[in-house]
Amino acid sequence: MFNKSKFKETMPVVPAQIRITNFNEVELGLSDKSALLEADRCLNCKNSPCVKGCPVGVEIPKFIEFIKKGDANSAYKTILKDNIFPAICGRVCPQEKQCEAHCIRGKSGDSVAIGSLERYVADKILNSDDNKEIQNKKTDDISGNKKHKIAIVGSGPSGLTCASELTELGLEATVFEALHTPGGVLSYGIPEFRLPRKVLKKELEVLKNKGVKIVTNAVVGKSFLIDSLFNMGYSAVYIASGAGLPRFMNIPGEGLSGVYSANEFLTRVNLMHAEKEKYDTPIIFPKKLVVVGGGNVAMDAARVAKRLGAENVTVLYRRTESEISHAKEEGIEFLFLSNPTKFLGQNGKLTNIECIKMSMGEKDFSGRKSVSPIPGSEFLVSADTAVIAVGNSPNTIIKNSENNLDFDSYGRIIVDSQTLRTSKKFVYAGGDAVTGAATVILAMGAGKKAAHQIFNDLKSIESEGER
């Protein structure tokens, strides 16, 4: 059977007027019938261009073939060889820019909905008894006659992937997380309606049952230094501390009550449950909220505000429209080619935002069009709350505590691009701490790469010792 349709099967979504009243998941996943129809659109190309577009190299045609045969268990195991978080990645990865962008079917219609199929398989197994067999999977020590312990700093996608790969290779991995809950940006940065916590919890359980240890409330750089980890018997350290330090605009009024960074705003809701009455996490429940920025984080903040009961939510973005369909459906307003210049307030509280209109110019060296302010085009936007979502940088805790690590001018750890080695022996780094804020799957790719490099480097040391 081959489905010749040019159009992909789409997932049903909760109607906008219902979903803005709660934090339940918006997209509901493919049905068995839709998943089979979508799988039958795959051409099973010999060259597998989709695999080349996947940062962790999932064998996409192979797992889709198992879906066609009705064997979700084998499909899941196929994905799991390369991607420890298929239920998460099926929800939050930009497949349209990665694996699906390389799909041959996309040349004369829609590409195969690889992300939707990945989510379908993971959800089916994680919600079934088959999950018990996979969770109880044990790995053998294949590292040689010496059991190495590896310390991983940060429990985000990169750190957890590295830990999983190291465990598969027979090494002992311990993840140190600064917060009280593991998951990194998966926990504090992505709202429940895009990534339900029960999904994250289930995939973390699979990881823990493989033997990965996670220590929370442990701030490397404060609780203990990297050298302390070596003194504790760890053979190598992988730094995957992410990019959780928010950037601000450095304009007047940013210190007013009611002005948040997106990081703080989302963390108070996603991780500290500010939206629930039984939690006393302080937060302003906005009536008129303005989000500054146009990326995924800005969209998340805007949609969270709507669910907190905001009457008006407006996104100010100095460029033009991006992928914002769900936010528009939920009643979020957009002011494009607009940039804030000043936050205004009374009695220390935000009341208005002064903005200026922008114009698009010629493309710069990166190929992106420049923007510039239009003199005399200033205007005011009424707001009691503002969320600044213009990017994040790596946290400075490790930079300020470590003298033997090299950093660039943006605070990112400098590594060898091929090995992910840092300037400190047996210390490696990857993910957002190296690249700056990027995607979940790219961070996972770095974690996988680092694990194999650590394994090979330690094997080389063992071989030298045997000579």
- Interval 236-286: pLDDT, tens: 999 999 998 999 999 999 999 999 999 999 999 999 999 898 899 999 999
pLDDT single digits (tens) 278-289 = 899 999 999 999
Q: How far is CA 377 from CA 158, 335, 338, 344, 358, in A?
A: 44, 14, 10, 17, 9
Paired strand residues for 67: none
Q: How far is CA 384 from CA 12, 289, 293, in A?
A: 35, 6, 17
Spacing of C-alpha 313 from chain mean position: 24
pLDDT (0 to 100) of residue 320:
74
Does residue 101 register a pLDDT over 90? yes
Does residue 56 register a pLDDT over 60? yes
Lowest-confidence region among 130-134, 317-321, 333-337, 429-433: 130-134
What is the number of other CB atoms lying within 10 angstroms of the CB of residue 283?
Answer: 16
Residue type, 20: I
The mean pLDDT value of the chain amounts to: 92
pLDDT (0 to 100) of residue 35:
97
Can you tell me which residue has the tokens 């998943």?
A: 35
Question: How confident is the model over 179-208, as a mean pLDDT?
Answer: 94
How many angstroms separate the CA atoms of 199 and 206, rounded?
11
Question: How confident is the model over 203-226, as a mean pLDDT?
Answer: 93
Confidence class of residue 367 from pLDDT cuts 50, 70 and 90? confident
Question: Exposed, middle or buried, 245 (CB in 10 Å: 0-12/13-18/19+)?
Answer: middle
Q: Residue ranges per domain, the chain?
A: 16-135, 149-244+393-466, 248-390
Q: What would the CATH number be for the domain defined by 16-135?
A: 1.10.1060.10
What is the number of other CB atoms lying within 10 angstroms of the CB of residue 287?
Answer: 13
pLDDT (0 to 100) of residue 142:
43
Say which CATH architecture domain 248-390 belongs to: 3-Layer(bba) Sandwich (3.50)
pLDDT (0 to 100) of residue 238:
98
Confidence class of residue 369 from pLDDT cuts 50, 70 and 90? confident
Does residue 74 register a pLDDT over 60? yes
Q: Which of 133, 236, 170, 205 is nearest to 461 (CA)?
A: 236
Question: How confident is the model over 46-73, as a mean pLDDT?
Answer: 95
User: pLDDT exceeding 70 applies to what percent of the chain?
Assistant: 94
Q: Which of 190, 191, 186 is nearest to 202 (CA)?
A: 186
pLDDT (0 to 100) of residue 70:
95
Q: In sequence order, which residues have a C-beta less than 8 Å from that of residue 99 and are 6 or more positions away?
A: 50, 51, 53, 54, 58, 60, 114, 115
Backbone φ and ψ for 347, nearest 5 degrees, come out as 55, 35
131-71-444-60 Cα dihedral, nearest 10 degrees: 180
Q: Which of 193, 168, 59 is nearest to 118 (CA)?
A: 59
Does residue 385 register a pLDDT over 70? yes
Question: How confident is the model over 103-116, as a mean pLDDT?
Answer: 95
pLDDT (0 to 100) of residue 324:
82
Residue type, 82: D
pLDDT (0 to 100) of residue 222:
92
Can you name the CATH fold of 149-244+393-466?
FAD/NAD(P)-binding domain (3.50.50)
Confidence class of residue 322 from pLDDT cuts 50, 70 and 90? low
pLDDT (0 to 100) of residue 323:
63
User: pLDDT exceeding 90 applies to what percent of the chain?
Assistant: 84
Side-chain-side CA neighbours of 73 within 13 Å: the count stands at 8
Q: Is it true that 16-135 and 248-390 share their CATH fold?
A: no
pLDDT (0 to 100) of residue 462:
77
pLDDT (0 to 100) of residue 131:
60
Confidence class of residue 133 from pLDDT cuts 50, 70 and 90? low
pLDDT (0 to 100) of residue 121:
97
Does residue 140 register a pLDDT over 60? no
